[in-house]
Amino acid sequence: MIIKSMSRKTPSFDQLTAYMLAPEGAQIDLEYNLPIGTRTEAEIAQAFEENHAFLPRRVNGNAMYHEILALEPNEAVSREEQIAALRQLAARYVDKRAPQQLAIGVIHAETPHIHIHLMISSNAVLSKSRVRLAKKEFGNIQREIEEYRIQHFPELGTRRYFDKSKKAERSSNREKAATLRTGQPSHKEELTKQIMPILAKAKSREEMEEWLYALGLKLYQRGWAVGVTTEGSRRYRFSTLGLSEAYTEAMARIELVESRIQKLQRSQHERDLEGERG
């Protein structure tokens, strides 16, 4: 499970709300501290804007947070069970992360990575100061939610991302030792260096696969493991390469582009129908 936090300096509450609710059938799966009856996109954005207005103006001050909790693809667990588990995990996460702040969550389940988008205010309700969460505190929350997932939803997998095992540490130490001994970056480090810009720039899955193919790599997904296969048929998981978060962020960005295109197409279709009726 990946937990990603992205801060925004601009209070673009309406844009993020619209994006979160863009997929067909999307609905509010989680809400914290919103006024009773706040359900529409406009009402949600207004509630966040009014709460943000309590903050004094400050250059480079965070206005909001866009956070993502993503499950690994899992063919052994039904889509409905994954959604129910993710809803519970997200509620626990917000309880720990932002109990006094405004927050909404929307689950996107149309991709193999079932995930929830969260919009969280930077200040508590009616507060004139921003909530500051230290990196160490955030890390502790990530590990706590991961441990809760493993204990209560072992069917979703027991891989740890935020609490490396001794085996992973030993593997990392061997990589570092080899680099120091030879003075050359390891093969994994080279792969990470090559793949990172692709994940950062690709505008579609097809474009991602095309750029990887040009490097002699092929994207693969087996169960909930995602990574690349080399021309020699050797597999490297993104988690092994330290690219899990980059991949999740890339897929979220691609999903945003696709949802905007779909929304434009639906709008055009509706205009065409209106023209025909007119």
Digitized pLDDT (tens) for each residue of the chain, 278 residues in all: 889 888 999 999 999 999 999 888 899 999 999 998 888 999 999 999 999 999 998 888 999 999 999 998 888 899 999 999 999 999 999 999 999 999 999 999 987 789 999 999 999 999 999 999 998 999 999 999 999 999 999 999 887 878 654 444 455 555 555 555 555 557 788 899 999 999 988 988 888 998 998 889 999 887 667 899 998 888 999 988 988 878 888 888 887 777 667 767 777 777 777 777 76
Contacts of 75-78 with CB under 8 Å at 24 or more apart are 75/223, 76/155, 76/223, 77/155, 77/156
Query: How many of the other CB atoms lie within 10 Å of CB of 110?
Result: 14
β-bridge pairing 30-32 and 64-70: unpaired
Over the Cα atoms of the chain, what is R_g?
Answer: 21
Q: Per DSSP, what are the bridge partners of residue 228?
A: 219, 236
Contact indicator for 20, 106 with CB cutoff of 8 Å: yes
pTM (predicted TM-score): 0.68
**CATH number, domain 2-161, options 3.90.870.10, 3.30.930.30, 1.20.1250.30, 3.40.1180.10:** 3.30.930.30
Query: Distance between CA 28 and CA 130 in Å, rounded?
Result: 25
Task: Print burial letters for 241-256: b (CB count within 10 Å at least 16), e (below 16).
Answer: bebbbbbbbbbbebbe
Query: Distance between CA 66 and CA 30 in Å, rounded?
Result: 14
Contact indicator for 90, 118 with CB cutoff of 8 Å: yes
Residue 113, amino acid? H
Residue with tokens 């909930």: 224
Task: List, by residue range, all CATH 3.30.930.30 domains of the chain.
Answer: 2-161
Query: Distance between CA 223 and CA 72 in Å, rounded?
Result: 8
Query: Distance between CA 54 and CA 219 in Å, rounded?
Result: 47
Residue 202, classed as helix, strand or coil, is coil
